[in-house]
Structure 1
Amino acid sequence: MPYTVDFHTVSTVGLESSPVADALAGLRANEARYFKNKYDHAFTVEPARNAKMAIDWVHGILKEERDIVIASPPLEATDFQIENIRMAYVFYQSGLPINVMYTDDDPTKRAVGFKLSEGMEVPAELASRFKFARQKSKLAGTIRGSYFNIKNKY
């Protein structure tokens, strides 16, 4: 069942099995607020079992570009298009959200982003490859994030 994320009332719906569910829900709400304010887009997620195409696309890019396999199981995901940008998000049980921003017409605007929920350790599969910067969010507390640019076409 799809769930439209309400950033006014942060909810752990769909994320309950995460040990950092509250912080992960804050990150998800933070993303929902961004897309609503910037693009007037309602950020809707669905359980991982119903979002196989989005998850496979993200996992394929991670594997092909950097030989990364995420150990934590995905809880939910979303995949949508705004203007000429295809976006995909996967939220993992560990508290890690990964997003892919991909434009067909501008290869310089293709990236994979990682965010860490407050209280979450950097996953081993990312620890030696990325440095994480910090930023503050009213909805998510302290967010640590990193990214890499996508080189190939998907």
Structure 2
Amino acid sequence: MPHAVDFATVSTAGLESSPVAAALAGLRANEARYFKNKYDHTFTVDPAGDARQSIDWVTRILEKERGIAIASPPLEATEFQVENIRMAYVFYESGLSINVMYTLEDGGKRAVGFKLSDGMEIPEELGAFKFARQKSKLAGTIRGSYFVIKNEY
């Protein structure tokens, strides 16, 4: 059952099994606030079991583009379109959030972004990436990195 992410009252619902549940909930709320403010889009998430198609799409891109397999189990995911951009997010038990931004028109921006919740270590499978820090009122310190998608999905 999908549920809207409330960024006014941050909740760990759906993320309780994460060792950094509060920080991951803040990270999820930070994304919800961004999409509400920029696109007037209500950010909703589904439990991983109900979002296999979205998780499989993100997993396939990671594998084909960089040979990356995320060790942590996914907890929640979402997929939606804003303007001409297909977006997908997967939130993992470790505190990792992965998003895919895929512009639908040829030649548009396409990238995979990684965000690490405050308090988590960089996962071994992402050790080759450099992470920049950003402050968030909802999520504390977020560390992020990305790569450009080269193929069609």
- TM score, norm. by length of structure 2: 0.99
Equivalent position SS for 2:38: helix
Task: Return the offset for 1:144.
Answer: 0.2
How many angstroms apart in 2 are the aligned matches of 1:17 and 1:63?
Answer: 26
What corresponds to 1:145 in structure 2?
144
Q: How many corresponding residue pairs? A: 153
What corresponds to 1:133 in structure 2?
132
Alignment-mate amino acid for residue 12 of structure 1: T
Task: Return the offset for 1:106.
Answer: 3.9
| 1:91 has 2:94 as partner | no
Q: Deviations over 1:22-44 (max 9, x none)?
A: 00000000000000000000000
| 1:46 has 2:46 as partner | yes
What corresponds to 1:103 in structure 2?
103
- Contact (CA 8 Å) 1:107, 1:151: kept in 2 or not? no
Task: Return the offset for 1:107.
Answer: 3.1
| 1:62 has 2:59 as partner | no
Alignment-mate amino acid for residue 94 of structure 2: S
How many angstroms apart in 1 are the aligned matches of 2:83 and 2:29?
Answer: 22
Q: What value does the CA root-mean-square deviation take over the aligned residues?
A: 0.6
Task: Return the offset for 1:145.
Answer: 0.2
Alignment-mate amino acid for residue 99 of structure 2: N
Task: Return the offset for 1:108.
Answer: 4.2
Task: Return the offset for 1:20.
Answer: 0.2
Task: Return the offset for 1:77.
Answer: 0.1
Equivalent position SS for 2:87: strand
Task: Return the offset for 1:3.
Answer: 1.1
Q: Percent identity?
A: 78
